[in-house]
Amino acid sequence: MKDRLFQTTALTAVFAVFGGALAAQEMTILVDNNPDTVAITEALTAAYTAKNPGVTWEVEARAGGAEGDNIVKTRLATGEMADVFNYNSGALLQALRPSRTLEPINDIPNFGNLLESYTQTVSDGDGNVYGVPHQAAMGGGILYHVPTYEQLGLEIPTTWEEFMANNAQIASETDKAPIIQTYRDTWTSQLFVLADYFNVQAEEPDFAAQYTNNESKYATTPAAKKGFDRLQSAFEAGYFNADFGAANYNDGLRMVATGSGVHYPMLTFSIAGIQQNHPEQLNDVGFFAQPGDSAEMNGLTVWMPSTYYVPKGGDHTDIAKDFVNFVASPDACDIIIEAVGASGPLLIKGCTLPDDVPTAVGDMMPYFEQDGRTAPALEFLSPVKGPALEQLTVEVGSGIRDAQSAAELYDRDVEKQAKQLRLPNW
């Protein structure tokens, strides 16, 4: 293919042992063309070759988005997939019919290193797990301005009531916007709903399955509707920046970095943007999970990382599975961090981050270090997500529509999506 790029090493004549047999083999690995993905893959394959000199790798870069989806599905269907490839975790994986097209990796020696919060997003109904992560997880929650918290003596909130009390104090004692909203980039309006999923699952553990089976709805499940309710309450309290309708994502990063706004609901991939655009303020920005109703059940909604998979029926499955076993090790974590830096927690037990990570990255770690304090975002557990959510959350966050009617309209929106996917019971 024209996207075939990035030969990682020269083939050597040294042998490596796999399953008792000597093998000298050139392997292929197909990844998306995101620069971080390519850099990570080149670093990992080079390190694997250093440990197993008989095995070298050709790294192919494919397009992302819909074009990349089609490439992956076509190559799997035609038996022309690379020995290893990367793809999404979560609901999108199910479109690949993994039990038919992928090799389970439950039997690799390092399987126990994979966190359960991750493995549930790359498994099937029979308990077979298919992938190993090679990037950091992202948290969905609240970026906050650390100096303002210190100035006002505020504590990190673990309930929504505490969060709103902090906003009230910020509004009364400063001229800062307590909550930053940036509706020029409409996707940013969704965070109060999407980042609330840990709280939904804490109250309704079976919501994802019932939602997928058309047995639960946002509008009729109080725990699920609370994300819309919280967005409405924040608007009605008058806590948003005055230009919330015209401000964009980069404005939001600037505001939370410089302290003209104090809370910005956002995904933690944004830390890289702050590091690039406001490096001197990088450590002035912290992070906490979106609070719910209970301090005892406070936890983080997580967006799971891209994943390496091994196609079923490949010519070099043993070597491919040995490679993903290597990726599921603390040594591989160190290689990933050296290649692209520490942007968040790596979902491998035994992985540690450098001491000098940005404040917001360090703030994420306690959630991952305690069992039960993370949950995948709903989109990693269910294929049902309607395209109109960001328009509806803009309306709720602008006072145009109330939470109840937005939830009802969103239920209708996802019904269209579910029918297009031909899901049962819809």
Does the pLDDT at position 426 exceed 60?
Answer: yes
> Does 138-302+384-420 match 4-136+305-359 at the fold level?
yes
Considering only residues 16 and 97, tell me which one the structure prediction assigns the higher pLDDT.
Answer: 97
Helix (H, G, I), strand (E, B) or coil at 49: helix
Cβ atoms of 127 and 287 within 8 Å: the answer is no
Q: Which residues fall within 8 angstroms of residue 400, CB to CB, at 6 or more apart? A: 394
Question: What confidence category does residue 84 fall into, taking pLDDT thresholds of 50, 70 and 90?
Answer: very high
Question: What confidence category does residue 420 fall into, taking pLDDT thresholds of 50, 70 and 90?
Answer: confident
- Lookup result for tokens 């302290």: 259
Residue 15: other Cβ atoms inside 10 A? 15
For residue range 346-360, list pLDDT tens digits in order: 899 999 889 889 999
Rounded mean pLDDT, 133-155: 97
Strand 261-267 and strand 177-179: the pairing is parallel
Whole-number pLDDT of residue 355: 87
Domain limits of the chain?
4-136+305-359, 138-302+384-420
Whole-number pLDDT of residue 23: 59
Rounded mean pLDDT, 207-235: 97
CA 113, 115, 120, 126 torsion: positive or negative?
A: positive
Rounded CA separation 164/178 (Å) = 9
Fold adopted by 138-302+384-420: D-Maltodextrin-Binding Protein; domain 2 (3.40.190)
Look at residues 192, 172, 170, 171 and name the one whose alpha carbon lies nearest to residue 181. Answer: 192
Tokens describing residue 90: 């979560």
Going from the C-alpha of 166 to that of each of 21, 267, 388, 407, the distances in angstroms are 63, 21, 31, 27
For residue range 288-324, list pLDDT tens digits in order: 999 999 999 999 999 999 999 999 999 999 999 999 9
Q: Which superfamily does 4-136+305-359 belong to? A: Periplasmic binding protein-like II (3.40.190.10)
For residue range 241-259, list pLDDT tens digits in order: 999 999 999 999 999 999 9
pTM of the entire predicted model: 0.80
Element (H, E) at 25: strand 25-32
Question: What value, to the nearest 5°, has the Cα angle with vertex 30 and ends 24 and 32?
Answer: 150
For residue range 41-83, list pLDDT tens digits in order: 999 999 999 999 999 999 999 998 778 889 999 999 999 999 9
Rounded CA separation 192/411 (Å) = 17
Tokens describing residue 336: 């990933």
Residue 249: other Cβ atoms inside 10 A? 16
End-to-end CA distance of the chain: 39
